[in-house]
Chains A and B, each alone.
Chain A
Amino acid sequence: SPPAQLLDRLERLALVDFRDAEGVERLQEAIRFAEQLQEVNTDGVEPMDSVLEDRCLYLREDDVTEGNCAKELLKNAREKVEEYFVAPPGNIPLPKLDEQETVLRGS
């Protein structure tokens, strides 16, 4: 089973929690499943980013064609002030593993 430290790190990176033992088990299954990739010989094979790799990505002219829709975009936000999206205070790290339960219990 992946070490607790790794699980904690994943939860911070993903900002999503495993919730319970089943979640961790699911990750272990996923890792086990992915191991099959090691069976394939990929010596000298270049990674493929896109099936359209032999084409040039389309670049359009750097002209403004749309915008000025702040009101529309703000409609979907729950917390806003004038034309700002409002976030809770930043620069506060997520609580450590053992403190987390208390913090997230509210949600």
Chain B
Amino acid sequence: VSPEPGSPQVAAALKAGRVTPTELCQRCLALIRSTGFLNAYITVAEETALKQAEESEERYRRGQTLGVLDGIPVSVKDNFSTAGIETTCASSMLKGYISPYNATVVQKLLDQGAVLLGKTNLDEFAMGSGSTDGVFGPVRNPWSYSRQYKEKSVSKSHSEDEESNWVITGGSSGGSAAAVSSFTCFAALGSDTGGSTRNPAAHCGVVGLKPTYGLISRHGLIPLVNSMDVPGILTRCVDDAAVMLGSLAGHDPKDSTTVQDNFGPFELPDLTDVSKLSIGIPKEYNAPGLSSEILALWSKAADLFKNAGAKVIEVSLPHTRYSIVCYHVLCTAEVASNMARFDGLEYGHRSDMNESTESMYAATRREGFNDVVRGRILSGNYFLLKQNYENYFVKAQKVRRLIFNDFVKVFRGGVDILLTPTTLSDAVPYMEFIKEDNRTRSAQDDILTQAANMAGLPAINVPTALSERGLPIGLQFIGRSFQEKQLLTVAKWFEKQVKFPMIELEAVKRLDDGVFQHQKSAFS
């Protein structure tokens, strides 16, 4: 039984029996196979996924589904612990590591009947902005193979170009973004510490939500920066992000940094009147290196709100340009601490070196970590030396407060939502990206996304338009703490106005019979 083109959303289709969970699962698995060249997945959990799909099907038969996520195929970034399924963080340090427990967010998805297809690729230990520095190789942006991109590239030989012209996904949650973008799953989990969910979302043309710090549990998310990490949500539309958020948010006794406020899942209203909204345009986000194309799009978006009756005003976040330096110090310091647990003794890679405990530790870490990780550990330890602690670490913490206060001031001044670009440009070709080293790239690419992590605020990337090269450009909305409902409502209104085009991928077309191509929301 296959749905016709233009049929309603997947969840409704499942409910009505137009497609079964196992059919859906099998189709996603087939698509994962045929899009293997994207390298979006590190592990595909075929057997367990099919089993979960069968159990879901049984529940649908008995009319006892667990909720709106029942039977929905999802993917999870490979820095979330998944019981029984390898969790590698794209590092040699954790190759073969099988976690004995599920991260809370993974458990929540499974408890609601979601089907876990597999673990997605990333930069090693989520350090990077390209998803190019993992031990399993780089992730390719599905848009590299889209009709929209191909027809814009001046080509000599067709096959030669596909091999050398493919563009990056952005990072570090590139695998998750590529997975959602190429229709292999309906939603994916990423993580966001400096923009790692929003950046690849922008480059891959999907919705990327960074929730408020403290809203979603980090238990089981292998930590990078404890004071900034959050699980991120990647979906094809804003409504789906709201559903995922509703399923994942809330206090977790296993993560003491989750707030105890009551959180209730919500449905997003269809906003028609934006006249009561105040949109802030932070002038510092017109950062050096911002492409004229994105600047123009950002301006057009501001006009869109203005013409619809919203109040659109220029605001200032004066410490924006220090956010990256601040992040650089705080991140490397916390990384130096968080990576100390990898010593080969209890889990993960262990060197054969057996002379002494310390030399075993040193050799294990030498063998297990890539240059990027090792570089950050060393820098972090430098900034934490007694002689440097005040001038670097504590100084950065003070600058963090200034950045945080910038936002407080602007929101207190009556602004509801900030509108900014998400990235400086559309996705660059891999060959160009690797010319600069990881730290330089991260410093450049995180500039527009990082401050939201510094201040713990919710932020979302909404795919807005295609660039001259036929690649996605997204814009970012930043909201007040814990005001995800307002943030997503505005994002949804904007999404409806811009009508971002669907990716036209050969691999998807071949498999399509309406389930994928004409899906907007998976859940409603």
Q: Which of A79-100 contact B (CB under 8 A)?
A: 79, 85, 87-90, 92-95
The distance from the CB of B348 to the nearest CB of chain A, in whole angstroms, is 7
Q: Are A88 and B356 in contact (CB under 8 A)?
A: yes
Docked complex Cα distance between A22 and B439 (Å):
13
Docked complex Cα distance between A88 and B358 (Å):
9
The distance from the CB of A44 to the nearest CB of chain B, in whole angstroms, is 9
Q: Are A51 and B395 in contact (CB under 8 A)?
A: no
The distance from the CB of B335 to the nearest CB of chain A, in whole angstroms, is 10
Q: Which of B19-27, B57-65, B143-151, B319-327 lies at the interface?
A: B319-327
Give per-residue flags for B255-279: 1 if the beta carbon is below 8 A from chain A beta carbons, else 0.
Answer: 0111110000000000000000000
The distance from the CB of B450 to the nearest CB of chain A, in whole angstroms, is 14
Docked complex Cα distance between A90 and B259 (Å):
41
Q: Which of B163-171, B179-187, B379-387, B490-498 lies at the interface?
A: B379-387
Q: Which of B41-49, B66-74, B304-312, B363-371 lies at the interface?
A: B363-371
Q: Are A75 and B363 in contact (CB under 8 A)?
A: no
Q: Are B356 and A89 in contact (CB under 8 A)?
A: yes
Q: Are A77 and B319 in contact (CB under 8 A)?
A: no
Q: Are A88 and B354 in contact (CB under 8 A)?
A: yes
Q: A60-B253, A77-B347 are in contact. Are A13 and B355 (CB under 8 A)?
A: no
Number of residues of chain B lying within 8 A (CB) of chain A? 75
The A interface, classified by DSSP as helix, strand, loop or mixed, is: loop
Q: Are A76 and B328 in contact (CB under 8 A)?
A: no
Chain A residues, CB < 8 A from B343: 15
Give per-residue flags for B470-511: 1 if the beta carbon is below 8 A from chain A beta carbons, else 0.
Answer: 000000000001000000000000000000000000000000
Task: Tell me, yes or no, whether A36 is within 8 Å of chain B by CB.
Answer: yes
Pairs across A and B, CB under 8 Å, 14 listed: A15-B340, A15-B362, A15-B365, A16-B377, A23-B378, A26-B437, A34-B325, A76-B347, A87-B357, A94-B359, A103-B359, A104-B353, A106-B352, A107-B353
Residues of B within 8 A of A (CB): 97-98, 100, 213-214, 227, 251, 253, 256-260, 319, 322, 325-326, 328-329, 332, 336, 340, 343-348, 350-363, 365-367, 369, 371, 374-375, 377-383, 385, 391-392, 394-402, 404, 437, 439, 443, 455-456, 481
